[in-house]
Amino acid sequence: MSFLAYDKNSDYSYTLGAYPTIELLKNRPDLALRIFTRAKFYKSEGYKIVRNLAKKPKVTIEQNEHFVERVSTKENCLVATAFKKFESSLHTSENHLVLINSKDAGNLGTITRNMLAFGITNLAIVKPAVDIFNPETVRASMGAIFGLKIKYFENVEDYTKSLREDRNLYPFLTTGEKLLSEVQFKNPFSLIFGNESSGLGNEFKNCKNTIRIPQSKKVDSLNIAVSVGIALYQVYSSKDRDPIQYLPNT
Amino acid sequence: MSFLAYDKNSDYSYTLGAYPTIELLKNRPDLALRIFTRAKFYKSEGYKIVRNLAKKPKVTIEQNEHFVERVSTKENCLVATAFKKFESSLHTSENHLVLINSKDAGNLGTITRNMLAFGITNLAIVKPAVDIFNPETVRASMGAIFGLKIKYFENVEDYTKSLREDRNLYPFLTTGEKLLSEVQFKNPFSLIFGNESSGLGNEFKNCKNTIRIPQSKKVDSLNIAVSVGIALYQVYSSKDRDPIQYLPNT
């Protein structure tokens, strides 16, 4: 198999840097295809960890200065690992995060870190949307994507058709009816976010259970990754105990 | 006065795009020096607003395709406004956000949006730190910096020496003693954050009132702008009413 620079239409992508490479090898060694390194990497702490993790799944480590430089977008990247893109069905009885019209690669990566931090591990991405396997997103995620179930949907209807009847939908809007801190979330639920420039479309404005994050009118909106972080934090801290003790995925 | 491409040592910077330009003209018209535009800008909605806001402070609007292209880092920027950099003393009886060793321009901008959204308008930046007037930060802030008091400090001691005795310090650490949701914040207070790769230094580990945001051990840490957003949200929502009603700066 020969590898080329990242292309959103190809079936593989790259982790850039030691941290996301380690997360890949720890959580989804089945996806790792080949590890490309620069000579400098062999002197780092990260190398020892990567070498050990690569043994069992037998992933080849290949020194290739030119290739690492070519696939990495930032300087000082010493390791880039090719991995198979993946999609998986979402769990029908677990809680979901739903992103509609997600536009920014960095924000999407940051959102996946929020999800892993607060134990919601099913991500529905409704198109149009940025590519979650873009190496820039994988980098911003710090490898968190390898701990998630991720599925793309063509439109909102395709997503809602995939759900069981007992699911509760909670759309987030700046004009939402209830304050986030007052909501009693009922499992299984889906937290639904639009993007920060246009929010959620009209199909959600008249839904029940719309939620707003209280904020001053001095800003148009919060950054979308911040909004999702606040929502996930509130869901878990509202249970009156330290989530670290009860998160199913800790 | 002649204008050059952005330089962190010069005493002026640029807002890139209509939104931060409008925030500048609305909130700090005294800082605006000159508005540079591309021809396409005159057809936009933003132009009408900018033109009206520029009248009273008598800011010149100059069409200069080449200059706008030169100072803007992203494509499709139609307006760039030169403004005087500013620093101001922080208010000794108001609440502060303190950022130590802030490294990322985009995150710093997002943090200023969080501050304005949750009504904390005094920002202490302890060096080393990125430049808050970098046009990229101003863009990520969506112009929120023009609603804040901002002051740089050489080190932590310089900041703490500037404070009255009745101030309460709350350092945020992943190993913090109290859960965020359990803290009763006492005015006037300072919320203190390090950066996401190294956190706060040892001088804070033995402080009283250290706080942690509960999160799974599956991630190393949250993104710093997300952490600050969650903290500011919790401070205001813990007062059992809609902050929109009582924020002093709404």
* Residue A246 confidence (pLDDT): 42
pLDDT at B250 over 70: no
Tokens for B139? 């863009």
* Residue A10 confidence (pLDDT): 95
Antiparallel, parallel or unpaired: β B149-153 and B122-126: parallel
Which residues of chain A are within 8 Å of residue B178 when distances are taken between CB atoms?
A: none
In sequence order, what are the residues at sequence separation of 6 or more whose Cβ sits closer than 8 angstroms to the Cβ of residue B203? Answer: B156
> Does the beta carbon of B214 lie under 8 angstroms from any beta carbon of chain A?
yes
Best of A148, A196, A216 to mutate (most B CBs within 10 Å, chain B): A216
Residue A157 distance to chain B (closest CA, Å): 30
* Residue B196 confidence (pLDDT): 76
Average pLDDT over residues A127-148: 95
CB contact under 8 A, A223 and B116: no
Best of A230, A238, A240, A244 to mutate (most B CBs within 10 Å, chain B): A230
In sequence order, what are the residues at sequence separation of 6 or more whose Cβ sits closer than 8 angstroms to the Cβ of residue B45? Answer: none
Average pLDDT over residues B174-197: 92
Antiparallel, parallel or unpaired: β A79-84 and A12-16: antiparallel
Q: What is the pTM of this model?
A: 0.93
* Residue B28 confidence (pLDDT): 97
pLDDT at B240 over 50: no
CB B49 within 8 A of CB B79: no
CB contact under 8 A, A230 and B233: yes
> Does the beta carbon of A217 lie under 8 angstroms from any beta carbon of chain B?
yes
pLDDT band, very low/low/confident/very high, at A239 (cuts 50, 70, 90): low
> Does the beta carbon of B76 lie under 8 angstroms from any beta carbon of chain A?
no
Average pLDDT over residues A87-110: 95
pLDDT at B32 over 50: yes
The fraction of chain A above a pLDDT of 70, given in percent, is 95
Antiparallel, parallel or unpaired: β A149-153 and B96-100: unpaired
> Does the beta carbon of A121 lie under 8 angstroms from any beta carbon of chain B?
no
CB contact under 8 A, B229 and A222: yes
Checking ipTM against 0.90, whether it exceeds it is: yes
> Which of B116, B179, B230 is closest, CB to CB, to A230?
B230
In sequence order, what are the residues at sequence separation of 6 or more whose Cβ sits closer than 8 angstroms to the Cβ of residue B99? Answer: B108, B111, B123, B124, B125, B126, B129, B193
pLDDT at B7 over 70: yes
Which residues of chain B are within 8 Å of residue A113 when distances are taken between CB atoms?
A: 219, 222-223, 226
Rg (CA), chain A: 19
CB contact under 8 A, B226 and A222: no
Average pLDDT over residues A87-97: 96
* Residue A188 confidence (pLDDT): 95
Residue B92 distance to chain A (closest CA, Å): 22
pLDDT band, very low/low/confident/very high, at A39 (cuts 50, 70, 90): very high
CB B125 within 8 A of CB B97: no
Range scoring the smallest mean pLDDT among A206-210, B27-31, B118-122, B245-249: B245-249
> Does the beta carbon of A237 lie under 8 angstroms from any beta carbon of chain B?
yes
CA B121-A104-A130 angle, to 5 degrees, is 160
